[in-house]
A and B are shown apart, each in its own frame.
Chain A
């Protein structure tokens, strides 16, 4: 289709306003859970608020995406619309990259500047005066104030579960590509199979990640509150885990749609968007594996 054709403009929609209300209620709920929780007050009503918000959000997501899928399947979208979706998804992923960049930045800063300074090295080394006995090491097992932030006894060995998880995630990137190829060749069975494998790999990753967290909390005293090592470790891997969860969910929905016979070999943007997201999650993991676990 050439751009010369007349433009497509969608009709009015109730979803944006539903989404705004849902988002606001969810955030109010989360905010008051945390505020009341930290103040030692009851959080029951806050949870109710949060759940109402989350329900509205879920309703909105199903409704909105359902509507778009319906429009797309009835052939209402032009090639131009398709391109708009693609650009939208790409820049959304870029914004996610920048979100992770902030946390990677925090990790580098702590390792290269803050911790050495506290330990007496570098330009602000005289800071060590305030922390007698503190030694700068990485991973940081003894924090400057051990009373406030008791450090971990041990950190995660990269060559055990993390290595396994790396293998899982990298192969899942391969399998999703195989599935994509299959879709383009119109091999539906192969598509279903490899997509299902991808989802399973994602689930397996999450399972082992949970194992690792349990081990960290129960055996290594490695927690969010165990100083800057635990802080950066859990924030980076945690947000990554959240993104894997989302990605897995997206792929799973694609699997359901494939089963329902959606997507053609020319038109399958939903599938592609999910797989782009999946590759992004994979690349972030490689960064994590190197900078959080190994180095």
Chain B
């Protein structure tokens, strides 16, 4: 599919595709024209439902438009048609009220069944809490003590056409959600700021993330693989830039991934006590900055005033350190500036603040250490 894409010219392929709307769905699905059948029972029943109603609509359309076109060719004035004068018939009226009702009932029955299945979130094997942030996702495996953030990893250079776009342009993240196959995974979906919506087509899960409330949903993946989705509720500037990547793996792979994650969490705790050098912090800080901050404050620190202030030469970045730390840790309520205290480790916070104070000609020269963050947080 990708190789066929030619962004500059309308390829013949897609024109033909438009014309081919009536060929069987199977072939359409392959070319990204149709809904994905997905990899869960639910996604498959939704797909079947979708195809059923689609074909019913096509059939009704063929009949209705067929009669209409027949009339349009047969009863033309230019062909000397003389108008009939009938204008009422209770019998036909009743018939064409009842037939649609019957068709609708036929659609409603399977739909009701699927819906009940979707709503049954009981007896899950794994619970994952998903929190939407402007503009990233947080995943917490609530029974296993593992949690992390998942950010868009497509470089700004690709977005602004300074660099060739990669294969998974806009649908790639730094850390995907990992789930085991053949396990019922329950998602507890919520949000931290505005409403987002967690959507992975292959799992047929689309659930709105409402700040202050938790919505439940579930999926049981049947095939290993990487499945991509996107935030599906307008959530501000970067709504188009908060993708979701789910990696479905076998149970042993899942267990080893989980183990590694838990180990990493322990290491991070240790790293907080290490003494960091300026170079190390700057290097780490730049990475953190580019994933967490650059969307608003821009890679060059210039921001997009007034909504997103510049950091380059700003009063905060060049002012007292504790004010700066406070700003990053606690955020500014009611603005896009979030409280990063809970989202980043102390090391990352220290690194990014150091970076902000020393990048783009902000040569303050001061070094912020993880312990400074810890001290500020405990206040």
Contact = CB atoms under 8 A, between A and B. Distances in A.
Q: Are A and B direct contacts in the complex by CB distance below 8 Å?
A: yes
A58 interface: no
A126 B212 contact: no
B215 interface: yes
B370 to A, nearest CB: 28
Interface in B143-198: 188, 190
A127 interface: yes
Residue of B188, B213, B215, B216 with most partner-chain A CB within 10 A: B213
Contacts of A144: 212
Interface string B216-247: 10000000000000000000000000000000
Interface residues of A, number: 9
A127 B188 CA distance: 9
A126 B217 CA distance: 12
A129 B215 contact: no
Contacts of A118: 212-213
Contacts of A117: 213
Contacts, number: 21
For this complex, into which size category does the number of interface residues on chain B fall?
under 10
Nearest to B333: A148
A124 B212 contact: no
A124 B188 contact: no
Interface in B6-38: none
A131 B215 CA distance: 14
A65 to B, nearest CB: 43
Contacts of B190: 127, 130
A124 B214 CA distance: 7
A131 B190 CA distance: 13
Interface string A96-134: 000000000000000000000110000010110111000
Contacts of A130: 190, 212-214
Contacts of A127: 190, 212-214
A233 B213 CA distance: 23
Nearest to A131: B212
Contacts of B212: 118, 127, 130-131, 144
A115 B183 CA distance: 33
A118 B214 CA distance: 9
Interface of A: 117-118, 124, 126-127, 129-131, 144
Interface of B: 188, 190, 212-216
Given A126-B216, A127-B212, A144-B212, 11 more contacts: A118-B212, A118-B213, A124-B213, A126-B188, A126-B214, A127-B190, A127-B213, A127-B214, A129-B214, A130-B190, A131-B212
